[in-house]
Amino acid sequence: MNGVGLLQIMYKGTRGEKSINSSEAIIKGIAEAGGLYIPNEFPKIDIPFSKLINYDYRQLSVYILKKYLTDFTKEEIEYCVNNAYDDKFEKGEIAPLVKVEEEFFLELYHGSTLAFKDMALSILPYLLKTACKKLNIKDEIVILTATSGDTGKAALQGFANVEGTKIIVFFPEKGVSSIQKAQMVTQQGENTHVVGIYGNFDDAQKAVKEIFNDKEFNNLLKDKKYMLSSANSINIGRLIPQVVYYVYSYLSMLKHGEIKEGESINVCVPTGNFGNILAAYYAKKMGLPINKLICASNENNVLCDFFNEGIYNKNREFKVTSSPSMDILVSSNLERLLYHISNGDEDLVSDLMKKLNMEGKYIINESMKEKLKDFYSGFANDKETYKIIENTFKDNGYLMDTHTAVAYKVYKDYKNAMNDNKKTIIVSTASPFKFPRDVCKALGIDNNDLNDFQLLYRLSSFTNINIPNSIRNIENREVIHNNLCKKEEIKSEIEKFLKV
């Protein structure tokens, strides 16, 4: 029963698609006309912080998720949260906050695949399964994912052995790091399937998108009681769980006396597809005292230009950097921000997205530009990224990965330029052991004659930091998935695995 005054949140598409409830939005992933689902209202944090500080991560997750997923019962959300955030998080704490110099690093990489994507992909399978149950969908859900590295493994790990689901991941055979590849091809679970493809990430991504749009194939699958779904970051089932750690980290600072109640903080986020920082924006809209949202890019600085000039222009050279998970020129989730800052002008958003598609470029109007003042944006190149990893380790013994380093560098620039001394959270998105070659290079460790697995040991002995359990001895694990195909063969790979 919905009591009087209880807010019902509905989800509507950014390009004018009709509103549906959260269960449907999680299952559909993307709206018909290509828009993304957004909540029709931002629920407010309505329990005093002085009380919320006593909540652990799971309790806080239930509280925040229930505010957005209003068609789920509290018991259903508890079931999802308790299965997602358990002892697979290595540090005991789900989202530890570590103080280094004057800043606070929010380490979101202690889940089983060592990147922040675990925070959402640990819970998405349970949300999806629960949503299917609520809507009485009996078909088996087949998750199709193309990955450039981190999403694939996090999705595999999240969906492995989840009843009623199968997951198929395609990755560019030559486009991922050795550690990332080893993580994927050693994946256990009867319902998992991993395939390397000849070609780059764009080829994999394009081929998978074509499968989603192939009506005939989808009908064939439907006859066999299969339903395709996606685990990528446009699903609101990935976005909303990410709001939790922003609230949680604020409460941690409050609890430890680092800030006073109501004091505002900044957050600085290494950004690619604009999912993580958008969750921080949602937290702010819910009433969390966030001052600036600092959006950090690498040399693929299309977002940085957007925030500074109000022009989005993807017509530029794609650069391969030391922070590969941010090598992206079309940040899908930015569409949601465009919707919010245009006061829900769906025609305008559709028009801008059409321009992006046709011309690779769009310009926003003055009133939208005015609303970008919540944000600050900068970027760091590889040289600056290496330098800050080295200096921070030398000066403070704190080791960070390349993505986090981009954020830290941009934050330092912000602090100098704006003369703002507010307490700041730097979001730490991956373990340094996931990118051992670049981190070793940054620290000046000779790495030319060693492979990535040997480098893990070198990095560990140099820094005196243990290799995380989930990748220790990974080079000796049994390779379970030894599949390689051409991009034209993706469909037959799927048919083979599903036996259709």
Ligand X SMILES: *Cc1c(COP(=O)(O)O)cnc(C)c1O
- Residue closer to ligand X (CB basis): 23 or 148: 148
Q: Which of 2, 37, 3 is nearest to 22 (CA)?
A: 37
Helix (H) or strand (E) holding 13: strand 11-13
Taking the complex as a whole, the smallest distance from the CB of residue 465 to ligand X amounts, in Å, to: 18
Q: Are 170 and 255 in contact (CB under 8 A)?
A: no
Give counts: helices (H), strands (E), the chain: 21, 15
Cβ contact 167:197 at 8 Å: no
| Residue 117 and residue 245 in contact, taking contact as beta carbons nearer than 8 Å | no
The binding site for ligand X (CB under 6 A) comprises 115, 117, 150, 233, 270-276, 325-326, 403, 429-430
CB of 112 to ligand X, least distance (A): 14
CA pair distance 272, 499, nearest whole angstrom? 36
Amino acid identity, residue 195? V
DSSP string, 331-391: -TTHHHHHHHHTTS-HHHHHHHHHHHHHHSEEE--HHHHHGGGGEEEEE--HHHHHHHHHH
In the complex with ligand X, which residue's Cβ is closer, 239 or 353? Answer: 239
What is the residue type of 210? E
Least separation in angstroms between residue 148's CB and ligand X is 9
- Name which of 202 and 359 has its Cβ closer to ligand X: 202
Give the C-alpha separation, 427 to 276, whole Å. Answer: 9
Minimal distance, residue 150 CB to ligand X, in Å: 4
Smallest distance from ligand X to CB 303, Å: 9
Q: Which is nearer to ligand X, 39 or 270 (CB)?
A: 270
For the CB of residue 295, give the shortest distance to ligand X in the complex, in Å: 9
Q: How far is the CB of 275 from ligand X (least distance, A)?
A: 3
Provide the CA 423 distance to its chain's centre, in angstroms.
Answer: 24
d(CA 268, CA 380): 13
Give dist(CA 120, CA 201) in Å, integer: 22
Q: Which is nearer to ligand X, 183 or 429 (CB)?
A: 429
Tell me the CA end-to-end span of the chain in Å, nearest whole number. Answer: 42
Closest CB to ligand X among 12 and 336? 336
Q: Measured from the CB atom, is 302 or 485 closer to ligand X?
A: 302
Q: Nearer Cβ to ligand X, position 111 or 270? A: 270
| In the complex, least distance from residue 215 CB atom to ligand X, rounded to whole angstroms | 29
